[in-house]
Chain A
Amino acid sequence: MPYTKRRRLVSSAVAVTLGATALAACGSESGDDGDARSGPVSLTYWTWAPGMDKVVDLWNKGPGKKEQITVTVKKQASGDTLVTKILTAHKAGKAPDLVQAEYQALPTLVSNDALADIGDGVGDAKSKFAEGVWQQTTLGTDAVYAVPQDIGPMMFYYREDLFEKYGLTVPTTWDEFAETARKLKKVAPDTDLTTFSANDSGLFAGLAQQAGAQWWTTSGDRWKVGINDGATKKVAEFWGGLVEEGAIDNQPMYTPAWNKALNTGKQIAWVSAVWAPGTLTTAAPDTKGKWAMAPLPQWNAGESRTGSWGGSSTAVTTDSGNKDAAATFAAWLNTDGDALNALAKEGGIYPASTSAQLSGAFTSPPEYFPNQPDFYQKAAEIAETTAPSAWGPNVNVAYTTFKDAFGAAAKNTSDFTAALDTMQEDTVADLKKQGFGVAE
């Protein structure tokens, strides 16, 4: 009896420790195609974009057939999960040829030597993108580590009908935004303008970006972390103040309760990004046609700047045996008109390529916004005003700390700047622990 008990116990203990190692087994089977281009080439592509297999079919039947490059899509989980998986596969030398990566994950991947410099392979792709977008794929160096795919310029969404009903005007500055929230509380105490949600760090990062924050910069061979810089502090104090005085809600988004609040008009606005129509369609199906989009409120009247929330790129890994072929495909996927049209149609993505932002699927408004025919014209104008972003090699640590620190601060309606300091300290401590050069 004691023996069997012990075995059971150890097996449950191993289940714990295994978690850390099991991932190594989930590598891919690509990356073994010879060195130089001779004859047909087959590439593997890890992506989470829905419908990507159909877009890739276009390639395999069209330009890919001519160039004898066949791409196979392997559907993956999105975001951070995929970063971990790529890094693990890369450790084993078995990362796929092509991967989808969010912009903020690029430094992490590059710092692990997982991404190849494809500057020579993507041709004149640079000219198709806004400068601020392209700069994210070079990390400020001469190398090109990815081709931008989609972007998420931030906007302000609000219930047009309820704004009218409550006598509110669309805020153009953050001060007006705060006034609108307070006014709404007076007119309809059960209703909130919006919520401060701590469960998606990308939102806060985008808001800080709009305010001019530069979270990671380099000086020489040292990283400088500015998460609690003046711009971000301003943003944190603003939202913390609104939560503290009860002018807005403090519950997380993407919960059943949040869906209900949007659907029933308990929350009447949402600071979001260009992909919001998709989310609203599932979260608030009954209010279709009642929402409208406006530019994000500004810190100073007359300015027009926005941040970005989301967006990703296509990168080639250092494990690929056919980096040039992979780069050719990555460039085609994100700059070719047909490919971008199919991406928009099948995957519902908003293209980073400026020429595609007003063509094909983007000539008519999203189905959810029949009342705003110029939705995508406006979106393209807003996208142009995106502030530059600055990502570093441990965004994942900053993001995790954000969720916990700001989650607790929102819950206790306590000091947001203290939470911001925690975020800064943890991020710097992690960099130092790993051995990065850090400038104080």
Chain B
Amino acid sequence: MKSAARPGSYRGRKAPYLFLVPATVLFVLFFTLPIGYAVWLSFRKVEVSGLGLGSGARKEIWAGLENYSGALSDSELLNGALRVLGYGCIVVPVMLGLALLFALMLDSEQVRLAPFTRLAIFLPYAVPGVVAALLWGFLYLPDVSPFSFVLDKLGLPQPDLLDGGPLYLALSNIAVWGGTGFNMIVIYTALRAIPAEVYEAAKLDGATPLQIALRIKIPMVAPSLVLTFFFSIIATLQVFNEPTTLKPLTNSVASTWSPLMKVYQDAFGKGDIHAAAAQATLIALATLVLSFGFLRAANRRNKQEAAR
């Protein structure tokens, strides 16, 4: 009896693992190994002796936490993080605010040409970030910008958008232009999923469209707002395309403007992949802490509200 039962139960226990194999192999090959390699690199460094010419003058050695302490004490990395923080403080609220506003407007009953408008707002998202940055870059450059031309003809002052404070607005504008559509669609889809009875009940109780929007729609799409906020934080921390594309057009964007640009610069400009790997690991950790910290805070609030 025992021996007859065993093959079946054995196969039964093995089956789930067999099904897991493809995913596990892929996960390890393209996920764990590259990350592991990057982390490994971050603990090593190259040491040169003497003039460093000829063979054997250069060897890779264990660096311990040296790359990490170097990254943490690097003022340029910290400044980059602060710049990105300032940039994020503009981008995230403006983009999500506009996305919510557009979604609510599209969802209202009076709207006309809704499909066209929806597509028109969404379309910039389909434009690659580099192309968008180039396009706006041309519009910002005072000497070739049609806006500057018009302002000049009207005798108005022409602001230099690629300098100082306005640079943040200029960069944020590109991100908002490109990202609002996507976030709007996410929120709009959530709005469409709200059952019609809820609105009916609200109307019967005498709620105005504004009250419906504020008291019913926004609370009910809160999970979508949390999600879009989460995505936006990640996208902001990883900003790279826009400043990199604008960099050749102006003296104001340094090659280490954002933390990721600094990583790129160290890896491919200075050829120090070990320092770059350490910085990349730190940025990944910071992204993890920030975005999941936000998610946990949001979830806690949701639970409290549910308990109420």
What is the interface of chain A, defined by CB distance below 8 A to chain B?
A: 2, 5-6, 9-14, 16-21, 80-81, 83-84, 87, 107-108, 110-113, 139, 141, 198-199, 218, 221-223, 250-252, 254-257, 260-261, 266, 318, 393-394, 396-397, 400, 403-404, 407-408, 410-411, 430, 434-437
Are the CB atoms of A434 and B52 closer together than 8 Å? yes
Taking CB atoms, residues of chain B closer than 8 Å to A112 are 58
Taking CB atoms, residues of chain B closer than 8 Å to A318 are 55
Taking CB atoms, residues of chain B closer than 8 Å to A21 are 34, 37-38, 41, 273, 277
Are the CB atoms of B255 and A255 closer together than 8 Å? no
Taking CB atoms, residues of chain B closer than 8 Å to A260 are 143-144
Q: Which of B109-117, B119-127, B260-268 contacts A (4 or more CB under 8 A)?
A: B260-268
Are the CB atoms of B251 and A410 closer together than 8 Å? yes
Are the CB atoms of A252 and B248 closer together than 8 Å? yes
The 10 A-B pairs of least Cβ separation, nearest first, read A257-B143, A13-B284, A17-B38, A221-B50, A411-B251, A407-B251, A111-B52, A435-B47, A435-B48, A17-B280
Interface residues of A, dominant DSSP: helix
Are the CB atoms of B271 and A84 closer together than 8 Å? yes
Q: Knowing A113-B58, A407-B254, A408-B251, say if A13 contacts B288 (CB, 8 Å).
A: yes
Are the CB atoms of B141 and A400 closer together than 8 Å? no
Are the CB atoms of A411 and B34 closer together than 8 Å? no
A252, A410, A436: the one contacting B51 at CB < 8 Å is A436
Taking CB atoms, residues of chain A closer than 8 Å to B55 are 113, 318
Are the CB atoms of A113 and B54 closer together than 8 Å? yes
Closest Cβ of chain B to A14, distance in Å, is 5
CA A231 to CA B55, docked complex, whole Å? 34
Are the CB atoms of B281 and A434 closer together than 8 Å? no
CA A153 to CA B111, docked complex, whole Å? 66
Q: Knowing A252-B248, A252-B249, A408-B251, say if A18 contacts B58 (CB, 8 Å).
A: no
Taking CB atoms, residues of chain A closer than 8 Å to B251 are 198-199, 250-252, 407-408, 410-411
Closest Cβ of chain B to A217, distance in Å, is 11
Closest Cβ of chain A to B221, distance in Å, is 16
B58, B144, B271, B283: the one contacting A16 at CB < 8 Å is B283
Judge whether B18 is part of the interface by a CB distance below 8 angstroms. Answer: no
B38, B51, B269, B287: the one contacting A20 at CB < 8 Å is B38
Taking CB atoms, residues of chain B closer than 8 Å to A14 are 31, 34-35, 284
Closest Cβ of chain A to B234, distance in Å, is 6
Closest Cβ of chain B to A59, distance in Å, is 30
CA A397 to CA B272, docked complex, whole Å? 10
User: Which has the most chain A C-beta neighbours within 10 Å: B34, B51, B252, B277?
Assistant: B51
Closest Cβ of chain A to B170, distance in Å, is 15
User: Which has the most chain B C-beta neighbours within 10 Å: A260, A393, A434?
Assistant: A434
Judge whether B43 is part of the interface by a CB distance below 8 angstroms. Answer: no
Taking CB atoms, residues of chain A closer than 8 Å to B268 are 80-81, 84
User: Which has the most chain B C-beta neighbours within 10 Å: A17, A21, A87, A396?
Assistant: A17
> Which residues of chain B from 267 to 296 have any CB-CB distance to chain A below 8 Å in the complex?
267-271, 273, 276-277, 280-281, 283-284, 287-288, 291-292, 295
A13, A218, A252, A261: the one contacting B287 at CB < 8 Å is A13
Judge whether B46 is part of the interface by a CB distance below 8 angstroms. Answer: yes
Closest to B267 in A: A20
CA A255 to CA B41, docked complex, whole Å? 37
CA A13 to CA B280, docked complex, whole Å? 8
User: Could you jot down 19 A-B contacts, CB within 8 Å?
Assistant: A13-B287, A14-B35, A19-B263, A20-B38, A20-B263, A20-B267, A20-B273, A110-B53, A199-B251, A221-B50, A222-B51, A250-B251, A251-B251, A255-B248, A260-B143, A260-B144, A393-B51, A393-B53, A408-B251
